[in-house]
Amino acid sequence: VLSLLNEVGLNDIKAINFSKKRGDERARFSLKDVAYMATNPDNGFSDINTAEYAGLIRKIDDEIKKNYTKGVCCFSSTMDNNLLWSHYGDSHSGFCIGYEFFNPEELNGNKGPDLHKVDYREKRELLTSLIYKAVIHDNINAKNDLDSKVLLQKSKGWEYEKEWRLLDNKGSQESSLKLIDVTFGLRCDYSMIGIIVNVLKDRVKFYKIYDAEKSFELQRHELEPCEILAEYPRGTTRYCFSPI
């Protein structure tokens, strides 16, 4: 590993520490690829944004993500997309939780949420020179730029998700999220609706998704908790056993 680092000119103390940290077999293969890129006169520390280097990018992504101390929480700015309900809402059998963010004044002086809109692109854009500055030289500006490249970019094929990502340190944190509503899917079980409404009835609003009458669009209508609970099965002291 050290010979590979020397080959690409990474021979200071931070490079040595880096090599020790990355001394496993997976890192060895990644460094070989980086060495090839760095010593190839046609490439150098250049943009890696073609299909030819897609495998290298994935390996580098994996190694970078191993070092992350940040957690990522994902949200969408839409709740009426059929594909989202299919992928993440158990084919309309689940529910969607709506949030709003507290104002900084409500967070006891703490900073506001580190919320970012996902950047959808046709191609990956990751500079080996940026990785060098961020990982080896611990450059704060390069680290921030690397954050946005690794954590906040997705293929344009996912653009319909309208995704936002909240970044924060891993582990238990004071939440900047405020629960404001719950939207139930087309096929959400009525007993599930009743349980959730009963628990949250005085705290949030409730909605249900319905098919539009003359289109394939989804519509959301507000539910009245008292009406839901009036129809919800109540507890009983009777039991019924099947024959042995």
Whether the predicted pLDDT of 78 surpasses 90: yes
- Compute the average pLDDT of residues 63-73: 71
pLDDT band at 132 (very low <50, low <70, confident <90, very high): confident
* Local structure of 95: helix, strand or coil: strand
CB < 8 Å & 24+ apart, contacts of 96-99: 96/182, 96/183, 96/185, 97/179, 97/181, 97/182, 98/179, 98/180, 98/181, 98/182, 98/183, 98/204, 99/75, 99/177, 99/178, 99/179, 99/180
Residue 193's pLDDT band, with cuts at 50, 70 and 90, is very high
Least confident of 77-81, 201-205, 217-221, 229-233: 229-233
In tens, the pLDDT along 11-38 reads 555 555 655 555 545 555 555 555 555 5
- CA dist., res. 154 & res. 97, Å (int): 23
Q: What is the pLDDT of residues 109-121, one digit of tens each?
A: 556 678 889 999 9
Please write the tens of the pLDDT for every residue from 154-175: 989 999 999 999 888 777 777 7
**pLDDT at res. 176:** 78
**What are the beta bridge partners of residue 34?**
none
What's the pLDDT score for residue 22?
52
